[in-house]
Amino acid sequence: MALRRLARHALHRVVPVPTPPLPLVPFPPELRSHILLHRFSTSLSDQPHFMVDYLVSTSGVPPAKAAKAAPRFAHLRSPDRPDAALAFLRSQGLTRAQVRAVVTFHPTLLLSDVDATIAPKFRAVRSVGLTHAEAARLFALYPPALTWGVHTNLLSRLLFWLDLLGSTRLLMKCLTKKWLLKYSVEWLKDSMSTLHGYGVPEALLVATVWQRPALILRSPARLRVLAARVDACGVPRGSWMYAWALLALHCVSDAEFRAKMAP
């Protein structure tokens, strides 16, 4: 009996040795994508919805983006509508890379009716002078434009820049550097009006914007700060130098400007 009590006492005093944690091994990208797609498919049903693979294999959408967007396609029973949308985009001259850029940014564009929603935007853009290739490039550079109303946003913004820059060539050149179409006409006119208020003549203002379209993408509040800098440099308002001083200083940070102005 004494030996049994001693053995039980010894067992209670044994300190269990902790099991070392298993090392974390990162999933390879292809396995992670498979897990994301499987997680989406099993959350809805036992079988993955065909649009998950469709977005990845046919449109080049990244798997994570496809998994996130696929519930919007859950009502589809065939790829007829997405096929029609893709076929139309390709017929308008969009390359495979451009189609991927557009669909990745806005996957549910593939749910759109081509005749009612997508085609009118291409017709509108070409009606103001853009070629087929320029229209394709414009929508690839700024996919949100395919979600706008033709008359409420698309044409008004496009015509503003065409009037200001004077040619489709300059417009396309500027679009490769900045999302010019992101800003409403009201925003742009407010910025132009603010610059006019500092005595910048119309012709000089247009020439300045040709050089740096980003100048009028600033808010009126930021333009007032910029104008104060030019005033601090002693450039008289209304002079031809004023617009160029705005150009020279609009990319300079506040810290850099203070450092240059320090005695």
Contact 59, 108 (CB under 8 A): no
In the chain, CATH 1.25.70.10 covers 79-179
pLDDT > 90: percent of the chain = 33
Q: Read off the pLDDT band of 11 (50, 70, 90).
A: very low
Whether residue 96 is predicted with pLDDT greater than 80 in this model: the reply is yes
What is the distance, to the nearest Å, from the Cα of residue 20 to the centroid of all Cα atoms in its chain?
45
Stretch 14-32: mean pLDDT: 48
Whether residue 4 is predicted with pLDDT greater than 60 in this model: the reply is no
**Spatial separation of the C-alpha atoms in residues 59 and 87, rounded to whole Å:** 11
Contact 212, 170 (CB under 8 A): no
Contact 67, 52 (CB under 8 A): yes
Give which of 130, 119, 229 is closest to 170, Cα–Cα.
130
Q: What is the pLDDT of residue 26?
A: 53
Give the pLDDT confidence of 194-221 residue by residue, as tens digits: 888 887 777 777 777 777 888 888 888 8
Alpha helical stretches, state H, 13-154: 29-44, 50-57, 63-69, 80-91, 96-105, 119-127, 132-141
* The two three-digit tokens of residue 138, written as one number: 């414009």
Q: What is the pLDDT of residue 153?
A: 92
Tell me the whole-structure pTM to 2 decimals.
0.71
**Spatial separation of the C-alpha atoms in residues 227 and 232, rounded to whole Å:** 9
Give the pLDDT confidence of 47-68 residue by residue, as tens digits: 446 888 888 888 888 888 888 8
CATH of domain 79-179: 1.25.70.10
Higher pLDDT pick, 33 / 166: 166
State which amino acid sits at residue 104: T
Average pLDDT of every residue of the chain? 80
